[in-house]
Amino acid sequence: MTDFMTGTRQRAPAARERRGAVGDAGPAPLDGQEAAALLERTRALVDPALRAALDSLPGAMRRIALYHFGWEQADGTPAAGNAGKAIRPALVLAAAGALGGSRARTAAVRAAAAVELVHNFSLLHDDVMDRDTSRRHRPTAWTVFGEADAILAGDALQALALRLLAEDPHPAAGPAAVRLADCVVELCEGQHTDTAMERRAPDEVTLDEVLAMAEAKTGALLGCACALGALYAGADEEDVAALDGFGRQAGLAFQLIDDVIGIWGDPRRTGKPAGADLVVRKKSLPVAAALASGTPAAAELAALYGTPYAAGSAGDGGEITRTALAVERAGGRDWAQTEAADRMARAMQELARAVPAPEAAGGLLALAEFVTRRST
C-alpha cells in the first residue's frame, strides 16, 4: 500500500489478518437479518455525524435538510421519520472493516457521513428534475418548500460532504475528497444524460446508453463508497480499484432491481405511486431492453411511449397497466432480473480480488445480497 504521510510504497504487516467484517469478527451469514443489523449499526454510527453537519447549516437550509432526512416536519417540529436505508455509508464502513478491521471502520465514519450527504444532495436535485412528488412515504422537499429552495439545500449538502473530509485529520481524507468530488462530477454527467435521453424518441435510445447512464448515476456512488472505505483502511491502489469495481457492479444490479420496482412495485412499500416511471415515460433499464427486443410488444411500447401519459385512460390506471404489460411481454422484466444476477456475479469477482476470504467479506456480501434481493 501507499503510506499517505510519505508517499512511499509499502506492504502493511499482516494486513490480511487484520481484515474483518463490519460487525463482529467472523463469517457473516448472507440473509436479510444480517444486512438489516449492519444497516442499523451504520445508522447508529453515522447519524450523529450527519445531524451535527445538518445542525451547522443556516436556518432555512437546515429546516429543508432535516425535513428531507425525515427528522423534522415541514413546520420544524421533530419527526421520527425515515432517513433512508443507509446502504452507501454501510458500504463505506463494510469496506473499511473488510480491509482494515474495526479501527479502520471507526476512522471511516466521517467519510461514510460524507457519502450519505452526497447521496441526499443527488436525491433532492433528482426529485426536482424528475418531478417526483413523494419520497420515503412523504411529499418531496421541492413540493413543500419550492424548487429553488430544494436545489439550494441539495447544494448545501454537497458542500457539507466535502467540508467533512476537508476537516478530517485522517491521512486518507485528501484522496477521499478528490475521489468523492470526481464522483459528483460523474453523477452530474449521468443525470444530464438521463435528462437528455428523456427528450429523445424511444427508438433513438440504445440499451448500452442506458446502462452507461445507470453506472454513472447509481454505480459510481456505490463504487466510490466502497473505494473510500478501502482508502481509510490504507489499502493499495489495486484493492481500492477492485472495491470500486465491486460497488459499481453491485450498483448496476441495484439499479436494475430498482427499475423493476419502479414499474411493478407496491406503493405501500416503495413510497411512490404505482408505475411512476411509466407515467413520466422514463427510459429505465427494463423499458430500454423491451424497446430493443424487436417484438410486437416492443412496437406497442414505443407507440405508448411516443405520446404523453393520458391520466384515466382506459379507466383508473389502465394505461399504466397496459404499458407495464407491454414491457413485460417484450422481455424487459426478465432481462432486468437476469442482468441483475449477472452484474452481481461480476461484483463478486471484483470483491474476491481484494478480499479473497469470505469471512472477511461478509459485511459487503450481506449488503450486496440485501440491495439486489428486494421484492416488489
Dihedral of the CA atoms 126, 58, 162, 4 (nearest 10)? -160
Helix 87-107 to helix 109-130 angle (10° resolution) is 160
- 301-304 contacts: CB < 8 A, separation 24 or more? 301/202, 301/326, 301/327, 301/330, 302/202, 302/203
In the chain, where the domains are located? 27-372
The CATH H-level superfamily of 27-372 is Farnesyl Diphosphate Synthase (1.10.600.10)
Query: What is the DSSP-derived secondary structure letter of residue 139?
Result: E
Residue 238: the pLDDT is: 98
Contact predicate 194/212, CB 8 Å: no
Q: Look up cell 474476491; give the residue.
A: 352
Residue 199: the pLDDT is: 87
Amino acid at 245: G
Distance CA 169, CA 167 (A): 6
96: nearest Cα among 201, 172, 202: 172
Distance of CA 62 to the CA centre of its chain: 23
Residue 3: the pLDDT is: 32
Residue 205: the pLDDT is: 92
Write the CB contacts of 265 (distance below 8 Å, at least 6 apart in sequence): 272, 274, 376
* Maximum Cα interatomic distance, the chain, rounded to a whole number of Å: 69
At 141 the three-state DSSP class reads helix
Distance CA 159, CA 169 (A): 18
Mean pLDDT by 10 residues, the chain (376 residues): 31 36 37 86 96 96 97 94 90 97 96 98 95 90 98 98 97 98 97 90 93 95 98 98 97 94 83 78 95 96 89 65 96 96 96 92 93 68
Distance CA 93, CA 112 (A): 7
Q: What is the pTM of this model?
A: 0.86
143: cell is 413540493
Q: What does residue 2 show for φ and ψ, rounded to 5 degrees?
A: -95, 130
173: cell is 481524507
Write the CB contacts of 126 (distance below 8 Å, at least 6 apart in sequence): 132, 191
